[in-house]
Every structure is written in C-alpha cells, then in structure tokens.
Structure 1
Amino acid sequence: MFDIDLDQPKQIVSDVLSNHKITSVAFVGCGASMSELYPAKYFLANNTKTLNVQIFTANEFNYDTPAWLDEHTFVLTCSLGGGTPETVEANKTAKAAGALVVALTHVPGSALTKGVDHVIVHGFEANYAAKAEKVGYALAVALEILQQVEGYDHYDDMIEGFSKVFEVAENAAQSVGKVAEDWAQEHKDDECIYFIASGASEKVAYSTSMFLMMEMQWINSGNYNSGEFFHGPFELTDDKHNFVLFMADGKTRPMDARVLTFLQRFDARCLVIDAKDFGLSGAVPASVATYFNPIVHTAAMRVFAEHLADLRQHPLTKRRYMWKLEY
C-alpha cells in the first residue's frame, strides 16, 4: 500500500536545527498548493508552545513580507509543477532574509527547487491516496519541527497515523464510486455548489470550491468553516441550494454535526463526506485522528469531482485562461 518516506522530513529538520535556532515557521504557496499546506500549519500552530506559525499566499509573502522573516525562520514552499512564478519568487524573498527554505514539489529539477536548502519530491499519480501525498509530507515536516524543537507527547501516535492513513484514504476513494456517480448525475447541471468543513479540513472545502469547481469545472461555488456557517451563510439554507459537508472524525466534529442538523432541518440538498464512515479513528490513534481528516477527505472528493467532470463532458484539465495567456 502507498506510503510516504518519513525519514526525509526527519533528516531535513534535523539538518536545519543542527546549525540554526528556529523561532518562526512560514508555509507559502498559491492556490491548491497553499491549501494543501494548511493542515500542517493547523497542526503546528495548535500544538506549539513556542513557535510563531503562519501561512501565506505567495505574492502576499513577497509584497508584504513579514517583519520577523530572518535566519531563524523555517520556510516551506510548495508548488505541484514547481513552476508557479509567485512561489518561485517567494523562495528568493525568504533566502534574501536569511531564512531556511524547503521546497515541496512533484517535479524534480523544477524552478522551485533552485537555490533552496532542501527539496522534497512527492508523488501524485499512483492512486487516489497519492493525491494527498503533498499534504502528508507537509504535515510530516510540521510534526518533526514540533518534536525536534520542543517535543510532542503524541509523536508516536502521529507516526502510527502516517502508517495507516493512506490505506484508509485509498479505501475511502475506492468505496464511493456509486455514491459519487449518483451525486454527479443529480448535480451536473447545478449553477452553484457550497462546501463546508472544519479544523484541519477547512481548506479541503476551500480547495474543492476554488479549484475543482471554479477552476476545473467553471461552476460557481463558495466555501465556509463550519463555525462561520452560522454567522451569515446559513441564511441560504433551503431545499434548492446544494451543499457538501466534510465531516471530521476528531475534535471539531461537533461543529460539523451542528451544520448537518441545520441543513437537514430545512431539507437542504447535502452530500456528507464523513471521515468516520471510512474508519479513520479506528485505524489512526484517536489522539491525533483530527489532523489526518484532510488526507481522507481529499482522496474521496477526487472521485466525486471526476464523476462530475465526466457527466458534464468537461475534463478536469480543461482551462479557459490558465496556461493560455499572460495574466
């Protein structure tokens, strides 16, 4: 079964800390890559007692560079193809300030890998779980930073989680085919789809909305944190609007359950992609399951997106502007 090499993040962090004191961590990327760094940022920010942890879209990092960026900053940049201009520039911004830079990409030798301190190359094509390999490596880097800087009581549980979660994710993706086909048939002509999630999976809702729907399907979409849903967006709830709820198996599940109860109360059209249904906390230690939700949600949602694209006769690779003109 598919897995990631945990020794690489461990060694990279060890090498960095051997001659640098790290006080800040910056996760930097654009679009889907930025959102796939979010689970790592969420985990590290919520568990550290000493580190300043932030996430940036790359050009904001370049144009409004944080004052604390210096030789004590660990920067993780990310780009699937390794050629995103803003993120390549972010490497230069970070290095100019003396920061340590690790690049995470699918393409060895790409522009993102030039002039940085370390490179991690992730997979993508092997299976559905591999679509979340980028998320996994970023989370593993965050884990090692936490463990090696200040220690983490649930470190061994996280390591065990990494050994199990990709199998859970792949099994989840393989199990949803009929449900995904039916959902796609029902919603292929929808003009708008909303996505809701909480905790580490918040940016799964964001990336599904922004990229799988708006970029790849040209479907209008919105995305909301489960807690924020009740501070505005819930006014749209009725039997005509279409929602997808990523339910967490972990600490923030009560937030998602509150949303589901409200959607059902008003007969909203709602698809629930529930990590608990796929046995996440039965395979991954319950103490850390909350941080592995995005890997399962990402793998499963990809199947729904593929069925939607097929029925709409609109391939996920189709673009109107991206890669076709200067912008």
Structure 2
Amino acid sequence: MNTKQIISEIKEKQPNIKSVVFVGCGASKADLYPAKYFLDGNAKKIRVSHYTANEFNYATPEAVDDTAIVISASLGGTTPETVEANARAKAKGAHVISLTRSIDSPLTKDADYVIYHRFAESYGAKLEKMGYCLELAMEILDQFEGYDNYEDMKEGFEKIYNLADNAAASAKLYAKKFAEDYKDAPVIYVMSSGATHEVAYATSICLMMEMQWINSGTFHSGEFFHGPFEIVDKDVPFILLMNDGRTRNIDSRALTFLDRFDAKTTVIDALDFGLSAEIKKSVIDYFNPMLLSAVFRVYAEELSIARQHPLTKRRYMWKLEY
C-alpha cells in the first residue's frame, strides 16, 4: 500500500482528521521534521506537532485520539521509546503509521500501517525514510484540505533520489578536504534553517557526537544572532547547510558574519548541487534537507576515515543498560 492509499483509507475511516503528530528519536526524529515543516507551512486547519518519543510517552498530547494521525519512525524498528509511543497512540485510538527498514520489528506491532524503506543500498536510499514521511504529509494535506502544488511535489519525488546520489558522488573531493581540515577540531558547530533545521540537529548529535565523539552544538541560522554568534572567532569550526529557497537569506546573513571574522566555515550549498535545476521553486524548500543529507553523509564518512574512527563505533550505545 503506497502513501496515497494509506491516507485515503484513513480518510474513509475518519474524514475529520484534526491532528498529525510526528514521533521519533535522534536521527529518525530529525527525518520526520521536513514533513512537519511542510504541514506547518501549508495546512490551514490541521494541528501539527513533533515529539521526541519519550516526551510523547510521559506527556502525551490530549489531541491524540481517533481524529489524530501519529507517524513514527525507527531505522531498526527496535527503539524502545518509539515502540512504546506506538502502543500509547494505538490505545488512544489514533491512526498509527510507522516507517522502518526492519520487517516485523517491534515498531510494527501497534502500527496500523507500515512503510518499509531502504537504507544501506545507496545515498539516495538513506533518504527514503525522510522522503516517504514527506509524501505522507503531502497526501494528508491534499486529501484533507487540498494542495495546489501537489503535482510539483510529485515531480520532485521522481527526481530527488537520483539527484542526491549524483550530488553525493560529486562531493568526494570536497569531503576529503573537509576531513583533513576538521579531523582535529575539538568542537564543531552546525547550523541551517527552514526544512533543513533538524538535519543540522542530527548532524550535530548523531554524526558528530554519537558517531565521532566530537563535541558539537547546533542552532537555527535565524537564532545565530540571538546568542550563538558571540562564540565566533578566527578558526572556530562551523558547518553551514545552506538552503536554496525562501530561507536562503537567513543562511546567507549568518555566512557573511562567519566570513567577517574568519571562522573556519564549511558551506554545503544546495544551489551548488543543482537543486533548483531539478525541483520547482514552488516546492524547493522541502527537498533541501534530502539533498543536503546525502551530501553531508559523504563528508561524515571521509571525516571518520581521516580520524580512524568508524561511524559504527560506540562506547555506550547498545553496550550498556541506560
């Protein structure tokens, strides 16, 4: 069953959907954010929220009932907090949709609908969780409220995975230079805006802190001048994931300041990788995070090689009770 069919079936059961709640942990939570951002910006009536799973469990929104769609994600389908969130949502009568790569994993137990995605096969495949969730958001908006740019979005989905694979392949040399320049950095700050905001967040907490044990902080480019810019100095390391779309000026303003004080800045710009050549202006904002995620994955891989620290290496995760 595809995303269109799933939402159509939910609508048949409940034509009065009032809320959509996105639930996950870590990178999976971040993968849900572009869909949340899309609905926030386009839905006129539907209430939208985005929770880390354990907060959803301890402070479950009152809106979670038979008028709510809960969309959860877990790569391996075993994240305990997200599995519990599914059970809570199901018990309250919500329509539960889960995204995972693992067939018959615990996450699927209390899900009304499961979308299986790929991950390891290619850089494009790593985007499928994010992409399918965004497709669900598109269908929810179109079927419950109507969406004028539906065809532009569909065309975007037809192009983004190949574009991301090509962009990742072309980034290798830039990624190697980044790795050499940043391999000894004691701390790396990451920022972005728009739909890419939580890609920056996941880059910081997952790729830097979890997978490389590098101290990192992240913030929205629009918040840069409301506190974080005070730590800017010559050679302080920053990563700026630069969007091609309505929030580009926000990213550009931050970059101008970083350059002014000679910060050690790596810019990964969706414009450089041809996003606007393939995706229509009407929907380009929502495809930035997919392209930038694919490209930065190459940077992270090269950083792990330069530091002789595999992305799979852990001290605590999966090894201790916590």
Identify the TM-score tier after normalising by the shorter chain: over 0.9
1:10 matched residue in structure 2: 4
Q: CA deviation at 1:317?
A: 0.3
Structure 1 CA distance for aligned equivalents of residues 146 and 230 of structure 2: 44
Counterpart check, 1:112 vs 2:124: no
- Tell me the TM-score normalized by structure 2: 0.99
Aligned-pair distance for 1:238?
1.4
Q: Structure 2: 5+ residue runs without aligned partners?
A: none
- The residue number in structure 2 matching 1:275 is 270
What RMSD in Å do the two structures reach over aligned CA positions? 0.8
1:311 aligns with 2:306: yes
Counterpart Cα distance in 2 of 1:237 and 1:170: 33
Q: CA deviation at 1:115?
A: 2.4
- What SS class does the counterpart of residue 243 from structure 1 fall into? strand
User: Residue 72 of structure 2: SS of its match in structure 1?
Assistant: strand
What's 2:228 paired with?
Answer: 233
Q: Tell me the distance in 1 between the aligned counterparts of 2:181 and 2:95.
A: 49
CA deviation string 1:145-189 (max 9, x = no partner): 000001001000000111111122111101110111011011101
- Superposed, 1:276-291 pairs within 5 Å as 276-291=271-286
State the 1:301 CA deviation: 0.4
Aligned to 2:213: 218
Runs of 4+ in 1 over 2 A off after TM superposition: none
TM-score by length of 1: 0.97
**1:55-89 Cα distance to aligned partner (Å, 9 max, x none):** 00001000011111110000001000000000000
Q: Distance in 2 between matches of 1:175 and 1:236?
A: 32
> Take 1:176 and 1:259, find their aligned partners in 2: how far apart are those partners?
23
SS of the residue corresponding to residue 95 of structure 1 reads helix
1: distance between equivalents of 2:137 and 2:110?
22
Q: Does residue 209 of the first structure (1) align with residue 166 of the second (2)?
A: no
Q: Which amino acid aligns with 2:167?
A: A
Q: Which residue of 2 is the match for residue 3 of structure 1?
A: none
Aligned length: 321
Partner deviation per Cα, 1:86-140 (whole Å, 9 max, x = no partner): 0000001101111010110010110000122100000001211111111100000
Distance 2:251 2:302 in 1: 25
- Counting aligned pairs with the same residue, the percent is 57
Uncovered stretches (5+) of structure 1, i.e. residues with no partner: 1-6
2:189 corresponds to 1:188: no
Tell me the distance in 2 between the aligned counterparts of 1:29 and 1:175.
31
Q: Which moved more, 1:154-163 or 1:7-16?
A: 7-16
